Structure 1
Amino acid sequence: MARHGTRTAWPPTLAAKRSDPLQAQHFRFAKRDTGTGALHCFVLDCSASMLARGQLALAKGLLIALFDRARAERVEVALIAFGGAGAELRFGPAVPRWWNERWIEPIGGGGGTPLEAGMARAAQLLEAAARRDPARARHLWLFSDGRTTQWPARPRRADHVTVIDCECGAVRVGRCEALAQAWAGECLDAQALLA
């Protein structure tokens, strides 16, 4: 989430991480030549299925690392949480504060998986950001296990999409990978990022 970057450069990030758990200081970013920095919109699945095997806790751990990195580099982020019957903006867009862990950790989960509501809220936020600064890169991150029957369209103002697949267990549906492909984005396994 560096001001000069529009997307995470995963090979150098994973090289910096080595066998350690992923932390904010490991992230490396691709250079960009134009614009005024990037906005990273994180969309967090807080449905009941994310509680089954600790996937929500895993996603929140990754979010804390990303928020800490954004704070250190003074990059704006936003967080939208969806679950139950709808979606809500929980943070930003703004530069995160030093107390990220204190307010991210208590975010609860339960209920259904209104992915369409989460993506609609993200689309509104990204559209507003594009109106304010058309040259600014807009990166969408979806943290989910993919356990939903909804298949929303990619928010059109997202310049780059990363789906963090939080699904775990013996039987995997694989919808996160399919969604990333449909949205011309990348899919990363949350467990591998923390391995």
Structure 2
Amino acid sequence: MAAKGRAPLRARDLRYRPQPLGSNTLHCVLLDMSASMLRGEKLALAKGCLLALTESFYRRREHLAVIGFSGNEARLLQAPGKVATFNAAWIAPLRGGGGTPVASALQLAQTLMQRRRKASSAQLLSLWLLTDGRFNDLPPRPQLADSCHIVDFENEAVALQRCQRLARDWDAQWISAAELNRV
């Protein structure tokens, strides 16, 4: 508009300027580190998936927060911010064991998303749940999440299919970790 001045608007006056990639999205990743994730190397696969996600988010210049949950509580592994270049150094040493406090993780994620929404109402909030679904109650969908993705690491002979049910309840994208490994 500045280029045209007071003259009538013409096609040659319009300029296309691409927006920076991803600066408007925060991905909140919840990593299940419970004892059930230790069986069948599920936690190792989940950490590999987390590493791949961080690389993808970095390429798109998006933001990331990571919450790990095991034992009796969830804890913040990576505070919300731009994704760092190299993430293997903090992902590789993560250990698991104990219970599956998914409700605690979702509450912490909700708190993080509330803070981000207050800071920028235009920022998109995307929640990723990496789990085998071995928890008792199916939690409600996080209210502030604009999109939800559930990566299902269940590989037991008797499948409970809780992740699939959760994806339906949340209207979330369901992704089988087994399919990811074949790619």
- Both structures adopt the same fold (TM-score exceeding 0.5): yes
1:139 to 105, 118, 126: 126
Q: Does 1:183 align with 2:170?
A: yes
Greater C-alpha Rg: 2
1:168 corresponding residue in structure 2: 155
2:55 to 48, 58, 68: 68
Any stretches of 5+ residues in structure 2 without a counterpart? 1-19
In 2, distance between residues paired with 1:150 and 1:93?
27
Q: Does 1:45 align with 2:47?
A: no
| One-letter code aligned to 1:97 | A
After superposition, what is the alpha-carbon deviation per residue over 1:11-40, rounded to whole angstroms, capped at 9, x for unaligned? xxxxxxxxxxxxxxxxxxxxxxxxx51110
Secondary structure of 2:66's aligned partner = strand
1:81 to 44, 63, 68: 68
Any stretches of 5+ residues in structure 1 without a counterpart? 6-35
Matches of residues 93-104 of structure 1 in structure 2 within 5 Å?
Answer: 93-104=80-91
| One-letter code aligned to 2:162 | R
Which 4+ residue blocks in structure 1 deviate beyond 4 angstroms?
none
| One-letter code aligned to 1:182 | D
After superposition, what is the alpha-carbon deviation per residue over 1:147-170, rounded to whole angstroms, capped at 9, x for unaligned? 000322211000000000010022
Identity rate of aligned residues, in percent?
39
In 1, distance between residues paired with 2:139 and 2:116?
20
Distance 1:97 1:4, change over 3 A: closer
In 2, distance between residues paired with 1:138 and 1:161?
9
1:153 corresponding residue in structure 2: 140
